[in-house]
């Protein structure tokens, strides 16, 4: 697989503003604004985009944006997820890791993202995650999707070192929360890196409360990290983060 851009874009805020963990409420961008944002990121070298069915209509907006900008599949990487879903009417989550739901969910994601295959498909776990990864039907369904070429890499977006350890051999990628105040998953990051597997960091800004430069410097200083997700709807913040990134890298 082509390597991920060191800075990836997390699309949560493109599609959902209900039941959020951010300190400040926000309006969702319309399609035109979302497309402009994705284009600006792409032109600045951000070619990896993370999304999920539970991020409102983020998958739809991302798919339309990539198609209308004319970004080809070999020019970008997309990760999406299975298992967690959000009902905007009841403002509630539900989880379903059955193989039937996985196949339906992937088919829907392919359709929304306007693609034939998904670069990384993450198990969208919740805490406690050990019982989730122990469901053999879950991994069997994911492995079948990989065999068919519909999914290129299998990942776990998880919470405990134990869960990552349990399915380590079947994993190509890990998505973990990691910042100066949250380092519990350091052993997983190290083990994945040593195994030449992908490590993607989420929530590096502590949902927006950490100093962005310090947070980026901390995340990028870990040699086992493949990509760091940046989530923002604010073009000034995006520019600021990309400048921090370039200054760290020079
Ligand atoms: N798999 C999972 O279970 C899971 C869970 C959560 C998240 N994720 C993924 O990880 C991504 C990131 O997580 P996250 O959004 O929860 O947390 P985060 O990246 O820690 O925080 C994002 C927040 O930081 C703010 N921010 C970014 N740059 C800033 C800057 N320079 N100055 C001031 N504020 C700044 C943004 O606000 P502005 O818009 O105002 O810039 C945004 O509200 C998500 O989009 C998603 O793709 C995955």
Please write the tens of the pLDDT for every residue from 161-216.
999 999 999 999 999 999 999 999 999 999 999 999 999 999 999 988 899 999 99
Structure confidence at residue 126 (pLDDT)? 96
pLDDT for residue 1: 66
* Alpha carbon separation from 58 to 10, 28, 33 (Å, rounded): 10, 10, 13
- Looking at residue 160, its pLDDT comes to 98
Instruction: For residue 3, give the DSSP letter.
Output: P
Q: Which of 205, 218, 228, 246 to mutate to test the pocket of ligand 1 (most atoms within 8 A of CB)?
A: 205
Q: State the pLDDT at residue 167.
A: 98
Shortest-distance atom of ligand 1 to CA 11 = 45
How do 151-157 and 118-124 pair as beta strands? parallel
Q: How far apart are CA 177 and CA 157, in angstroms?
A: 9
For atom 4 of ligand 1, which residue has the closest CA? 202
- Ligand 1 in contact with 129 (CB < 6 A)? no
Q: Summarize pLDDT for 14-31 with one digit per residue, the tens.
A: 999 999 999 999 999 999
CA distances from 180 to 109, 176, 203, 204, 220 (A): 33, 13, 11, 9, 12
Partners of 199 in the β-ladder: 174
- Which ligand 1 atom is nearest residue 13's CA? 45
Which parts of the chain have pLDDT scores under 50?
none
Determine the pLDDT at residue 249.
78
Do 198 and 156 contact (CB within 8 A), yes or no?
no
Nearest CA to ligand 1 atom 44: 10
Q: Quick one: pLDDT at residue 20? A: 94
User: What is residue 208's predicted lDDT score, i.e. its pLDDT?
Assistant: 85
Q: Is the CB of 10 under 6 A from ligand 1?
A: yes
- Residues 6 or more apart whose Cβ sits within 8 Å of residue 18: 56, 86, 88, 91
Structure tokens at 157: 């977006």
Distances in Å between the alpha carbon of 99 and those of 112, 115, 118, 125, 136? Answer: 20, 21, 17, 15, 10
Give the predicted TM-score (pTM) of the model. 0.97
What's the pLDDT at 84?
A: 98
Tell how far the Cα of 207 is from the centroid of ligand 1, in angstroms.
5
Asked if residue 79 has its Cβ within 6 Å of ligand 1, the reply is: no
User: What domains does the chain contain, in order, with CATH numbers?
Assistant: 7-249 (3.20.20.100)
Would the CB of 202 count as within 6 Å of ligand 1? yes
């Amino acid at each position: 697989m082509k390597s991920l851009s060191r800075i990836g874009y997390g699309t949560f805020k493109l599609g959902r503003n209900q039941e959020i963990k951010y300190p400040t409420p926000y309006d969702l961008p319309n399609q035109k604004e979302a497309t402009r944002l994705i284009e600006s990121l792409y032109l600045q070298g951000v070619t990896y985009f993370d999304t999920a069915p539970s991020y409102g209509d983020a998958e739809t907006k991302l798919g339309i944006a990539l198609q209308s900008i004319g970004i080809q599949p070999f020019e970008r990487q997309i990760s999406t997820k299975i298992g967690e879903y959000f009902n905007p009417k009841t403002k509630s989550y539900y989880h379903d890791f059955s193989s039937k739901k996985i196949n339906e969910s992937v088919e829907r994601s392919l359709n929304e993202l306007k693609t034939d295959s998904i670069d990384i498909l993450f198990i969208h776990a919740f805490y406690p995650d050990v019982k989730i990864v122990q469901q053999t039907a879950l991994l069997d369904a994911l492995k079948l999707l990989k065999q068919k070429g519909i999914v290129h890499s299998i990942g776990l977006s998880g919470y405990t070192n134990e869960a990552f350890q349990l399915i380590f051999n079947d994993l190509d990628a890990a998505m973990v929360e990691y910042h100066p105040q949250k380092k519990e998953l350091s052993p997983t990051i190290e083990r994945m890196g040593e195994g030449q597997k992908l490590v993607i960091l989420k929530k590096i800004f502590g949902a927006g409360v950490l100093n962005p430069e310090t947070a980026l410097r901390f995340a990028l200083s870990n040699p086992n990290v493949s990509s760091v997700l940046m989530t923002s709807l604010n073009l000034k913040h995006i520019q600021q983060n990309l400048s921090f990134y370039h200054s760290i890298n020079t």
